[in-house]
Amino acid sequence: MFLFLYTHFTDECFAQTITPLQDRTQVTEGKPVNLSCTYDGSVQSLLWYRQYPGSGLEFLLLVVESSTKSVVYANPPIPRLDGEMSMKDKRVDLIISSAEVTDSALYYCALVPTVTENTTPLMLLN
């Protein structure tokens, strides 16, 4: 069985851009997958969200730029999800250790928080 994962971005900072490395990813169930976005400029952190059809955005994790790995996870944390940031490559990754059918969704990488307490998107740019 194959999963389709779509990556988009949100950007509310006019001086910076963030771009997905792939628009669509086909994954075999049970296999690992990395979703990646690149950015320009200087950022302190990047966020990952997921959206199922007909639903609001769901916060997954925040990856903080630092010399040591620093990730803030959703509460409660979502199993099988992790994140990494490469300051050298200006890239942030969402890592799904073992893809499941329930992972089929639209994924967003963002420069600034996009979800409020009511999980309604503030702004989505295509």
Split at pLDDT 50, 70, 90, the class of 126 is very low
Tell me the whole-structure pTM to 2 decimals: 0.76
Contacts 24+ apart (CB under 8 A), 80-89: 83/48, 85/46, 89/38
**Gap between the Cα atoms of 32 and 112, Å rounded:** 27
pLDDT value of position 67: 66
User: Which neighbouring-strand residues pair with 94?
Assistant: 35, 83
Q: What is the pLDDT of residue 14?
A: 46
User: pLDDT for 92-111, tens place per residue?
Assistant: 999 999 999 999 899 988 88
Separation between Cα atoms, residue 92 and residue 19, nearest integer Å: 10
Sheet hosting strand 18-20, strand order edge to edge: 18-20, 33-39, 91-96, 81-86
Mean pLDDT value across the chain: 78
**Mean pLDDT (whole number) for 19-23:** 84
Determine the Cα–Cα distance for residues 4 and 24; give it in Å rounded to an integer. Answer: 7
CATH 3.40.50.300 for domain 2-110, yes or no, is no
Q: Which two tokens stand for residue 104?
A: 């089929």
**Domain limits, the chain:** 2-110
The mean pLDDT value for 118-125 works out to 38
| 28-46 residue pLDDT tens | 899 999 999 988 887 788 8
Check whether 6 has a pLDDT greater than 80: no
